[in-house]
Protein backbone atom coordinates (compact mmCIF):
# COMPACT_ATOMS: atom_id res chain seq x y z
CA UNK A 1 0.00 0.00 0.00
CA UNK A 2 1.28 3.48 -0.86
CA UNK A 3 0.56 5.68 2.15
CA UNK A 4 0.11 9.41 1.64
CA UNK A 5 -1.05 11.82 4.33
CA UNK A 6 -4.82 11.75 4.78
CA UNK A 7 -5.96 14.85 6.63
CA UNK A 8 -9.55 15.80 7.38
CA UNK A 9 -10.29 19.17 9.05
CA UNK A 10 -6.65 19.47 10.17
CA UNK A 11 -6.73 15.97 11.67
CA UNK A 12 -4.59 13.08 10.39
CA UNK A 13 -6.69 9.98 9.71
CA UNK A 14 -3.67 7.80 8.93
CA UNK A 15 -0.01 7.29 9.78
CA UNK A 16 3.05 5.99 7.96
CA UNK A 17 4.55 3.01 9.86
CA UNK A 18 8.06 3.46 8.50
CA UNK A 19 8.04 7.18 9.22
CA UNK A 20 6.97 6.40 12.78
CA UNK A 21 9.92 4.01 12.97
CA UNK A 22 12.21 6.81 11.76
CA UNK A 23 10.87 9.06 14.52
CA UNK A 24 11.81 6.44 17.11
CA UNK A 25 15.23 5.86 15.52
CA UNK A 26 15.94 9.60 15.62
CA UNK A 27 14.91 9.98 19.27
CA UNK A 28 16.94 6.92 20.29
CA UNK A 29 19.97 8.26 18.43
CA UNK A 30 19.62 11.57 20.23
CA UNK A 31 19.31 9.80 23.59
CA UNK A 32 22.42 7.72 22.93
CA UNK A 33 24.47 10.87 22.35
CA UNK A 34 23.61 12.18 25.82
CA UNK A 35 25.46 11.15 28.98
CA UNK A 36 23.90 8.48 31.19
CA UNK A 37 22.51 9.56 34.54
CA UNK A 38 21.45 7.86 37.77
CA UNK A 39 17.69 7.57 37.55
CA UNK A 40 14.80 5.24 38.26
CA UNK A 41 15.04 1.51 37.64
CA UNK A 42 11.37 0.75 36.98
CA UNK A 43 9.15 3.32 35.30
CA UNK A 44 5.42 3.26 34.60
CA UNK A 45 4.23 5.72 31.95
CA UNK A 46 0.55 6.43 31.49
CA UNK A 47 0.42 7.74 27.90
CA UNK A 48 3.82 6.57 26.67
CA UNK A 49 3.09 6.07 22.97
CA UNK A 50 3.50 9.61 21.71
CA UNK A 51 4.51 13.18 22.50
CA UNK A 52 5.91 13.85 25.95
CA UNK A 53 5.19 10.35 27.31
CA UNK A 54 7.15 8.69 24.48
CA UNK A 55 10.07 11.12 24.78
CA UNK A 56 10.15 10.46 28.55
CA UNK A 57 10.19 6.71 27.89
CA UNK A 58 13.10 6.92 25.45
CA UNK A 59 15.05 9.38 27.64
CA UNK A 60 14.76 7.04 30.65
CA UNK A 61 15.23 3.74 28.80
CA UNK A 62 18.47 4.98 27.24
CA UNK A 63 19.61 7.73 29.65
CA UNK A 64 19.01 5.83 32.89
CA UNK A 65 18.83 2.20 31.70
CA UNK A 66 15.30 1.94 33.05
CA UNK A 67 12.72 -0.78 32.54
CA UNK A 68 9.58 0.83 31.14
CA UNK A 69 5.91 -0.11 31.21
CA UNK A 70 3.58 2.04 29.13
CA UNK A 71 -0.19 2.28 28.89
CA UNK A 72 -1.63 3.87 25.77
CA UNK A 73 -4.79 3.93 23.72
CA UNK A 74 -3.95 3.30 20.09
CA UNK A 75 -5.61 1.85 16.99
CA UNK A 76 -4.21 -1.21 15.30
CA UNK A 77 -4.16 -1.42 11.49
CA UNK A 78 -7.25 -3.00 9.96
CA UNK A 79 -7.93 -3.52 6.23
CA UNK A 80 -7.08 -0.27 4.49
CA UNK A 81 -6.70 1.57 7.82
CA UNK A 82 -3.05 2.16 8.64
CA UNK A 83 -3.40 2.17 12.43
CA UNK A 84 -2.48 5.17 14.57
CA UNK A 85 1.00 6.65 14.85
CA UNK A 86 1.20 5.64 18.51
CA UNK A 87 0.50 2.02 17.58
CA UNK A 88 3.59 1.99 15.36
CA UNK A 89 5.63 3.98 17.85
CA UNK A 90 5.01 1.22 20.40
CA UNK A 91 5.96 -1.53 17.96
CA UNK A 92 9.16 0.11 16.80
CA UNK A 93 10.18 1.24 20.28
CA UNK A 94 9.84 -2.40 21.35
CA UNK A 95 11.87 -3.64 18.38
CA UNK A 96 14.65 -1.10 18.70
CA UNK A 97 14.88 -1.08 22.49
CA UNK A 98 15.62 -4.84 22.59
CA UNK A 99 19.26 -3.73 22.47
CA UNK A 100 18.90 -2.28 25.99
CA UNK A 101 18.32 -5.78 27.41
CA UNK A 102 15.76 -4.30 29.76
CA UNK A 103 12.07 -4.96 30.18
CA UNK A 104 9.79 -2.81 28.02
CA UNK A 105 6.12 -3.67 28.17
CA UNK A 106 3.09 -2.11 26.48
CA UNK A 107 -0.52 -2.21 27.56
CA UNK A 108 -2.95 -1.00 24.90
CA UNK A 109 -6.35 0.03 26.18
CA UNK A 110 -8.16 2.49 28.37
CA UNK A 111 -5.97 3.85 31.18
CA UNK A 112 -9.08 5.26 32.87
CA UNK A 113 -10.51 1.78 33.43
CA UNK A 114 -10.18 -0.03 36.76
CA UNK A 115 -9.48 -3.26 34.83
CA UNK A 116 -6.47 -1.78 33.09
CA UNK A 117 -5.11 -0.50 36.39
CA UNK A 118 -5.45 -3.97 37.92
CA UNK A 119 -3.80 -5.63 34.88
CA UNK A 120 -0.81 -3.29 35.16
CA UNK A 121 -0.51 -3.92 38.91
CA UNK A 122 -0.54 -7.70 38.30
CA UNK A 123 2.17 -7.34 35.68
CA UNK A 124 4.34 -5.20 37.97
CA UNK A 125 4.04 -7.77 40.76
CA UNK A 126 4.93 -10.63 38.43
CA UNK A 127 7.72 -9.04 36.41
CA UNK A 128 9.39 -5.98 37.90
CA UNK A 129 8.54 -5.98 41.59
CA UNK A 130 8.16 -2.32 42.48
CA UNK A 131 7.97 0.97 40.63
CA UNK A 132 10.35 3.91 41.17
CA UNK A 133 8.71 6.48 38.92
CA UNK A 134 5.17 6.98 37.59
CA UNK A 135 4.75 9.45 34.73
CA UNK A 136 1.20 10.59 34.06
CA UNK A 137 1.23 11.98 30.50
CA UNK A 138 -2.28 11.41 29.24
CA UNK A 139 -3.98 13.71 26.72
CA UNK A 140 -7.46 12.60 25.84
CA UNK A 141 -10.61 13.96 24.27
CA UNK A 142 -12.87 11.73 26.36
CA UNK A 143 -13.13 9.57 29.46
CA UNK A 144 -15.63 6.84 30.12
CA UNK A 145 -17.16 7.09 33.56
CA UNK A 146 -17.07 3.43 34.61
CA UNK A 147 -19.68 3.98 37.31
CA UNK A 148 -22.37 5.44 35.04
CA UNK A 149 -21.11 4.10 31.69
CA UNK A 150 -21.27 7.65 30.34
CA UNK A 151 -18.62 8.94 27.96
CA UNK A 152 -17.54 12.40 29.13
CA UNK A 153 -15.89 14.69 26.58
CA UNK A 154 -13.30 17.40 27.16
CA UNK A 155 -13.66 20.78 25.45
CA UNK A 156 -11.14 23.30 24.18
CA UNK A 157 -13.07 26.45 25.10
CA UNK A 158 -12.65 29.82 26.75
CA UNK A 159 -14.28 30.83 30.00
CA UNK A 160 -16.29 34.07 29.91
CA UNK A 161 -16.15 35.39 26.39
CA UNK A 162 -15.50 33.82 22.99
CA UNK A 163 -12.03 34.19 21.48
CA UNK A 164 -10.77 34.44 17.93
CA UNK A 165 -7.25 33.53 17.05
CA UNK A 166 -5.21 32.40 14.09
CA UNK A 167 -4.40 28.86 13.16
CA UNK A 168 -2.86 27.13 10.13
CA UNK A 169 -4.66 24.95 7.60
CA UNK A 170 -2.00 22.27 7.43
CA UNK A 171 -3.02 21.04 3.97
CA UNK A 172 -3.38 24.37 2.18
CA UNK A 173 -0.64 25.96 4.34
CA UNK A 174 -2.86 28.98 4.88
CA UNK A 175 -3.58 30.99 8.01
CA UNK A 176 -7.21 31.47 9.00
CA UNK A 177 -9.20 32.69 11.99
CA UNK A 178 -10.52 30.12 14.41
CA UNK A 179 -13.25 31.07 16.86
CA UNK A 180 -13.56 29.33 20.15
CA UNK A 181 -16.80 29.80 22.03
CA UNK A 182 -17.01 30.03 25.78
CA UNK A 183 -17.80 26.98 27.85
CA UNK A 184 -20.83 26.48 30.05
CA UNK A 185 -20.46 25.15 33.60
CA UNK A 186 -20.95 21.53 32.55
CA UNK A 187 -18.29 21.74 29.84
CA UNK A 188 -15.79 23.05 32.38
CA UNK A 189 -16.65 20.23 34.81
CA UNK A 190 -16.36 17.66 32.01
CA UNK A 191 -12.97 18.93 30.82
CA UNK A 192 -11.66 18.81 34.38
CA UNK A 193 -13.00 15.25 34.68
CA UNK A 194 -11.14 14.16 31.53
CA UNK A 195 -7.90 16.17 31.73
CA UNK A 196 -7.64 16.97 35.45
CA UNK A 197 -5.90 15.00 38.18
CA UNK A 198 -8.51 12.54 39.47
CA UNK A 199 -7.35 9.64 37.31
CA UNK A 200 -3.70 10.28 38.24
CA UNK A 201 -4.82 10.06 41.86
CA UNK A 202 -6.69 6.79 41.14
CA UNK A 203 -3.53 5.30 39.61
CA UNK A 204 -1.39 6.29 42.58
CA UNK A 205 -4.00 4.97 45.02
CA UNK A 206 -4.14 1.51 43.46
CA UNK A 207 -0.35 1.34 43.12
CA UNK A 208 -0.01 2.31 46.78
CA UNK A 209 -2.72 -0.09 48.02
CA UNK A 210 -1.21 -2.91 45.95
CA UNK A 211 2.19 -2.22 47.51
CA UNK A 212 4.03 -1.89 44.23
CA UNK A 213 5.68 1.47 44.93
CA UNK A 214 9.31 1.52 46.04
CA UNK A 215 10.74 3.63 48.84
CA UNK A 216 11.68 7.08 47.48
CA UNK A 217 9.29 6.55 44.57
CA UNK A 218 8.37 9.64 42.57
CA UNK A 219 5.49 10.56 40.30
CA UNK A 220 5.24 13.41 37.81
CA UNK A 221 2.67 14.92 35.49
CA UNK A 222 2.96 17.61 32.85
CA UNK A 223 1.25 20.97 32.87
CA UNK A 224 1.46 23.97 30.59
CA UNK A 225 1.48 27.59 31.71
CA UNK A 226 2.43 29.71 28.68
CA UNK A 227 2.40 33.45 28.14
CA UNK A 228 -0.12 36.23 27.52
CA UNK A 229 -0.88 35.36 23.89
CA UNK A 230 -2.31 31.94 24.78
CA UNK A 231 -3.70 32.95 28.19
CA UNK A 232 -7.33 33.50 27.17
CA UNK A 233 -7.74 30.19 25.43
CA UNK A 234 -5.29 28.00 27.33
CA UNK A 235 -4.59 28.87 30.95
CA UNK A 236 -7.74 31.00 31.30
CA UNK A 237 -9.91 28.44 29.47
CA UNK A 238 -11.25 24.95 30.12
CA UNK A 239 -7.84 23.32 29.68
CA UNK A 240 -6.37 25.70 32.25
CA UNK A 241 -9.06 24.66 34.74
CA UNK A 242 -8.13 21.02 34.13
CA UNK A 243 -4.46 21.85 34.69
CA UNK A 244 -5.31 23.66 37.95
CA UNK A 245 -7.07 20.47 39.04
CA UNK A 246 -4.05 18.37 38.03
CA UNK A 247 -1.77 20.66 40.05
CA UNK A 248 -4.13 20.49 43.04
CA UNK A 249 -4.07 16.69 42.91
CA UNK A 250 -0.27 16.70 42.81
CA UNK A 251 -0.28 18.22 46.31
CA UNK A 252 -2.61 15.52 47.64
CA UNK A 253 -0.51 12.79 46.02
CA UNK A 254 2.69 14.44 47.26
CA UNK A 255 1.58 14.20 50.90
CA UNK A 256 0.93 10.49 50.52
CA UNK A 257 4.22 9.88 48.68
CA UNK A 258 6.22 11.82 51.21
CA UNK A 259 4.66 10.25 54.29
CA UNK A 260 4.74 6.67 53.18
CA UNK A 261 7.71 6.44 50.81
CA UNK A 262 9.84 9.54 51.51
CA UNK A 263 9.07 10.12 47.87
CA UNK A 264 7.43 12.99 46.00
CA UNK A 265 4.82 14.02 43.46
CA UNK A 266 5.86 16.67 40.98
CA UNK A 267 4.28 18.87 38.38
CA UNK A 268 6.52 20.02 35.59
CA UNK A 269 5.56 22.90 33.37
CA UNK A 270 6.85 21.80 30.00
CA UNK A 271 7.57 23.79 26.89
CA UNK A 272 4.97 24.19 24.14
CA UNK A 273 5.72 21.61 21.45
CA UNK A 274 4.02 20.35 18.31
CA UNK A 275 1.11 18.18 19.28
CA UNK A 276 -1.98 16.82 17.56
CA UNK A 277 -4.17 19.31 19.41
CA UNK A 278 -2.09 22.46 18.66
CA UNK A 279 -4.04 23.37 15.51
CA UNK A 280 -7.35 23.35 17.38
CA UNK A 281 -6.19 25.89 19.96
CA UNK A 282 -6.38 29.38 18.39
CA UNK A 283 -3.03 31.20 18.46
CA UNK A 284 -1.19 28.05 19.58
CA UNK A 285 0.19 27.12 16.12
CA UNK A 286 1.27 30.69 15.48
CA UNK A 287 2.74 30.98 18.97
CA UNK A 288 4.64 27.68 18.68
CA UNK A 289 5.91 28.60 15.19
CA UNK A 290 7.15 32.03 16.32
CA UNK A 291 8.58 30.53 19.51
CA UNK A 292 10.52 27.92 17.53
CA UNK A 293 11.81 30.67 15.29
CA UNK A 294 12.98 32.87 18.16
CA UNK A 295 14.39 30.04 20.30
CA UNK A 296 16.30 28.60 17.35
CA UNK A 297 17.84 31.98 16.60
CA UNK A 298 18.89 32.30 20.25
CA UNK A 299 20.26 28.71 20.23
CA UNK A 300 17.95 27.59 23.05
CA UNK A 301 15.52 25.46 21.03
CA UNK A 302 15.33 21.87 22.30
CA UNK A 303 13.90 18.77 20.68
CA UNK A 304 11.15 16.99 22.59
CA UNK A 305 13.65 14.24 23.52
CA UNK A 306 16.24 16.67 24.88
CA UNK A 307 13.56 18.55 26.80
CA UNK A 308 12.45 15.41 28.64
CA UNK A 309 16.00 14.12 29.08
CA UNK A 310 16.89 17.42 30.78
CA UNK A 311 13.82 17.15 32.99
CA UNK A 312 14.91 13.80 34.39
CA UNK A 313 18.69 14.18 34.37
CA UNK A 314 18.80 17.72 35.79
CA UNK A 315 15.58 18.44 37.58
CA UNK A 316 13.94 15.23 38.78
CA UNK A 317 17.08 13.18 39.59
CA UNK A 318 19.76 15.89 39.30
CA UNK A 319 20.43 18.93 41.45
CA UNK A 320 19.42 21.66 39.02
CA UNK A 321 15.72 21.81 39.81
CA UNK A 322 14.01 25.13 39.15
CA UNK A 323 10.84 25.59 41.21
CA UNK A 324 8.30 28.39 41.15
CA UNK A 325 6.47 29.77 44.18
CA UNK A 326 3.81 27.07 43.74
CA UNK A 327 6.41 24.31 43.80
CA UNK A 328 6.09 23.48 40.08
CA UNK A 329 9.21 22.34 38.24
CA UNK A 330 9.84 25.04 35.63
CA UNK A 331 11.40 23.10 32.77
CA UNK A 332 9.85 25.79 30.56
CA UNK A 333 12.22 28.48 31.90
CA UNK A 334 13.86 28.90 28.49
CA UNK A 335 10.49 29.47 26.79
CA UNK A 336 9.37 31.86 29.53
CA UNK A 337 12.57 33.95 29.52
CA UNK A 338 11.28 37.55 29.19
CA UNK A 339 13.54 38.21 26.18
CA UNK A 340 12.22 35.14 24.35
CA UNK A 341 8.60 35.99 25.22
CA UNK A 342 8.95 39.61 24.17
CA UNK A 343 10.48 38.70 20.81
CA UNK A 344 7.94 35.95 20.18
CA UNK A 345 5.02 38.29 20.90
CA UNK A 346 6.54 40.97 18.68
CA UNK A 347 6.92 38.49 15.83
CA UNK A 348 3.35 37.25 16.29
CA UNK A 349 1.81 40.70 16.37
CA UNK A 350 3.81 42.55 13.72
CA UNK A 351 4.06 39.88 10.99
CA UNK A 352 1.62 39.56 8.12
CA UNK A 353 0.15 36.11 7.45
CA UNK A 354 2.56 35.73 4.55
CA UNK A 355 5.53 36.58 6.73
CA UNK A 356 4.34 34.15 9.42
CA UNK A 357 4.06 31.35 6.86
CA UNK A 358 7.56 31.95 5.57
CA UNK A 359 9.24 31.78 9.00
CA UNK A 360 11.70 28.94 9.55
CA UNK A 361 9.84 28.30 12.83
CA UNK A 362 6.58 27.74 10.94
CA UNK A 363 8.32 25.31 8.57
CA UNK A 364 9.65 23.49 11.63
CA UNK A 365 6.19 23.33 13.19
CA UNK A 366 4.54 22.04 10.00
CA UNK A 367 7.30 19.48 9.39
CA UNK A 368 6.97 18.19 12.95
CA UNK A 369 3.19 18.09 12.65
CA UNK A 370 3.52 15.75 9.68
CA UNK A 371 6.36 13.83 11.33
CA UNK A 372 4.37 12.92 14.43
CA UNK A 373 2.23 10.93 12.01
CA UNK A 374 5.22 9.46 10.18
CA UNK A 375 5.34 11.79 7.16
CA UNK A 376 7.99 14.16 5.75
CA UNK A 377 11.04 12.22 6.86
CA UNK A 378 13.85 12.62 4.30
CA UNK A 379 14.95 9.03 4.95
CA UNK A 380 11.63 7.53 3.82
CA UNK A 381 10.59 6.99 0.20
CA UNK A 382 6.89 7.73 0.34
CA UNK A 383 6.33 6.38 -3.21
CA UNK A 384 7.34 2.93 -2.04
CA UNK A 385 4.83 0.23 -1.23
CA UNK A 386 4.37 -0.40 2.52
CA UNK A 387 3.68 -4.09 3.24
CA UNK A 388 0.88 -3.23 5.65
CA UNK A 389 -0.55 -6.78 5.69
CA UNK A 390 2.84 -8.09 6.77
CA UNK A 391 3.46 -5.30 9.28
CA UNK A 392 -0.02 -5.82 10.73
CA UNK A 393 1.20 -9.14 12.13
CA UNK A 394 3.47 -7.20 14.48
CA UNK A 395 1.99 -6.42 17.85
CA UNK A 396 3.49 -4.48 20.73
CA UNK A 397 4.91 -6.68 23.52
P1 LIG B 1 -0.11 13.09 23.01
O2 LIG B 1 -1.47 13.20 22.39
O3 LIG B 1 1.06 13.10 22.12
O4 LIG B 1 -0.05 11.74 23.89
C5 LIG B 1 -1.11 11.35 24.69
C6 LIG B 1 -0.91 9.95 25.20
O7 LIG B 1 -2.06 9.59 25.97
C8 LIG B 1 -0.79 8.88 24.10
O9 LIG B 1 0.15 7.92 24.50
C10 LIG B 1 -2.17 8.24 24.06
O11 LIG B 1 -2.21 6.90 23.59
C12 LIG B 1 -2.51 8.31 25.53
N13 LIG B 1 -3.95 8.18 25.80
C14 LIG B 1 -4.95 9.01 25.47
N15 LIG B 1 -6.12 8.55 25.94
C16 LIG B 1 -5.85 7.39 26.58
C17 LIG B 1 -6.62 6.44 27.29
N18 LIG B 1 -7.93 6.59 27.46
N19 LIG B 1 -5.99 5.36 27.81
C20 LIG B 1 -4.65 5.17 27.65
N21 LIG B 1 -3.88 6.05 27.02
C22 LIG B 1 -4.46 7.14 26.49
O23 LIG B 1 -0.05 14.25 24.10
P24 LIG B 1 1.14 15.20 24.61
O25 LIG B 1 1.12 16.44 23.82
O26 LIG B 1 2.39 14.45 24.76
O27 LIG B 1 0.59 15.58 26.07
C28 LIG B 1 0.87 14.80 27.22
C29 LIG B 1 0.71 15.65 28.46
O30 LIG B 1 1.66 16.73 28.42
C31 LIG B 1 -0.67 16.31 28.57
O32 LIG B 1 -1.06 16.35 29.91
C33 LIG B 1 -0.42 17.71 28.07
O34 LIG B 1 -1.34 18.64 28.54
C35 LIG B 1 0.98 17.97 28.62
N36 LIG B 1 1.71 19.06 27.96
C37 LIG B 1 1.81 19.10 26.62
C38 LIG B 1 2.47 20.18 26.03
C39 LIG B 1 2.58 20.27 24.53
O40 LIG B 1 2.94 21.35 24.04
N41 LIG B 1 2.32 19.19 23.82
C42 LIG B 1 3.07 21.18 26.82
C43 LIG B 1 2.99 21.05 28.21
C44 LIG B 1 2.31 19.99 28.78
User: Percent of the chain at pLDDT above 90?
Assistant: 90
Report the 3 state secondary structure along the chain: CCCCCCEECCEECCCCHHHHHHHHHHHHHHHHHCCCCCCCCEEEEECCCCHHHHHHHHHHHHHCCCEEEEEECCCCCECCECCCHHHHHHHHHHHHHHHHCCCEEEEECCCCCHHHHHHHHHHHHHHHCCEEEEEECCCCCEEEECCCCEEEECCCCECCCCEEEEEEECCCCEEEEEEECECCHHHHHHHHHHHCCHHHHHHHHHHHHCCCEEEEEEEEEEECCCCHHHHCCCCCCHHHHHHHHHHHHHHHHHHHHHHHHCCEEEEEECCCCCCCCHHHCCCHHHHHHHHHHHHHHCCCCCCHHHHHHHHHHHHHCCCCCCECCCCCECCCHHHHCHHHHHHHHHHHHHCCHHHHHHCHHHHHHHHHHHHCCCCCCCCCCCCCCCCHHHHCCCCCC
Q: Please tell me the distance from the alpha carbon of residue 342 to that of residue 59, in angstroms, as a whole number.
A: 31
Q: Atom 42, ligand 1: which residue's CA is nearest?
A: 272
Give pLDDT, residue 276: 83
Give pLDDT, residue 283: 86
Q: Is the CB of 368 under 6 A from ligand 1?
A: no
CB 302 within 8 A of CB 271: yes
Q: Is the CB of 335 under 6 A from ligand 1?
A: no
160: confidence class by pLDDT, cuts 50, 70, 90: very high
Give pLDDT, residue 86: 97
Query: Regarding beta strands 163-169 and 174-180, do their DSSP bridges make them parallel or antiparallel, or are they unpaired?
Result: antiparallel
Q: Is the CB of 50 under 6 A from ligand 1?
A: yes
Alpha carbon separation from 225 to 72, 221, 230 (Å, rounded): 25, 13, 9
pLDDT over 90 at 389, yes or no:
no
Select from 86, 115, 139 the residue to mutate for testing ligand 1; criterion: most ligand atoms less than 8 Å from CB. 139
Q: Atom 30, ligand 1: which residue's CA is nearest?
A: 222
Active-site choice (52, 136, 234, 309): 234
- The mean of the pLDDT values for the chain is 96
Mean pLDDT of 70-92: 96
Residue 317: Cβ within 10 Å count: 18
Give pLDDT, residue 224: 94
Mean pLDDT of 279-295: 92
User: Ligand 1 centroid vs 309 CA: distance in angstroms?
Assistant: 17
Mean pLDDT of 103-125: 98
282: confidence class by pLDDT, cuts 50, 70, 90: confident
pLDDT in tens, 352-374: 999 999 999 999 999 999 999 99
Give pLDDT, residue 270: 95
Question: Which of ligand 1's atoms lies nearest the C-alpha of 55?
Answer: 26
pLDDT in tens, 230-253: 898 899 999 999 999 999 999 999
Give pLDDT, residue 145: 98
Mean pLDDT of 105-116: 98
Angle formed at CA 379 by CA 394 and CA 372, multiple of 5 degrees: 65
Give pLDDT, residue 277: 80
User: Ligand 1 centroid vs 276 CA: distance in angstroms?
Assistant: 9
Give pLDDT, residue 312: 98
Give pLDDT, residue 281: 85
pLDDT over 90 at 92, yes or no:
yes
Mean pLDDT of 105-113: 98
Q: Atom 3, ligand 1: which residue's CA is nearest?
A: 51
User: Ligand 1 centroid vs 385 CA: distance in angstroms?
Assistant: 31
Q: Please tell me the distance from the alpha carbon of residue 144 to that of residue 146, in angstroms, as a whole number.
A: 6
User: Ligand 1 centroid vs 90 CA: distance in angstroms?
Assistant: 15
User: Percent of the chain at pLDDT above 70?
Assistant: 100
pLDDT in tens, 167-198: 999 999 999 998 999 999 999 999 999 999 99
Q: Is the CB of 72 under 6 A from ligand 1?
A: yes
Q: Please tell me the distance from the alpha carbon of residue 136 to that of residue 125, in angstroms, as a whole number.
A: 20
User: Ligand 1 centroid vs 261 CA: distance in angstroms?
Assistant: 27
Q: Please tell me the distance from the alpha carbon of residue 231 to that of residue 237, in angstroms, as a whole number.
A: 8
210: confidence class by pLDDT, cuts 50, 70, 90: very high
Give this prediction's pTM: 0.97
Give pLDDT, residue 394: 87
Question: Which of ligand 1's atoms lies nearest the C-alpha of 272?
Answer: 40
Question: Which of ligand 1's atoms lies nearest the C-alpha of 288?
Answer: 40
| Range with top average pLDDT, 104-108, 174-178, 274-278 | 104-108
pLDDT over 90 at 151, yes or no:
yes
pLDDT in tens, 12-52: 999 999 999 999 999 999 999 999 999 999 999 999 999 99
pLDDT over 90 at 324, yes or no:
yes
146: confidence class by pLDDT, cuts 50, 70, 90: very high
CB 272 within 8 A of CB 288: yes
Q: Is the CB of 309 under 6 A from ligand 1?
A: no
User: Ligand 1 centroid vs 187 CA: distance in angstroms?
Assistant: 20
Q: Please tell me the distance from the alpha carbon of residue 26 to that of residue 47, in angstroms, as a whole number.
A: 20
Based on the residue annotation, tell me whether 176 is a catalytic residue of this protein: no
Amino acid sequence: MIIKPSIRSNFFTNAHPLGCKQNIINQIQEAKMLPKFQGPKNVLIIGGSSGYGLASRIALAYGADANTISVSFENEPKGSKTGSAGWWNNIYFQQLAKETNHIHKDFIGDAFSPDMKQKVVNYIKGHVGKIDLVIYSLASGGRLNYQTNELIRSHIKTIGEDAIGKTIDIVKKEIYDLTVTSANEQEIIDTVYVMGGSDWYDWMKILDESEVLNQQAKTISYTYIGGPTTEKIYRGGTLGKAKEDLEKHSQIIHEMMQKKYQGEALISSSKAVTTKASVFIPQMTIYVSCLYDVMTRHHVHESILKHKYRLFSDMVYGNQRILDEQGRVRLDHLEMDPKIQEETIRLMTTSTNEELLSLEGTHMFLREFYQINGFEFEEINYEEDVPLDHLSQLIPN
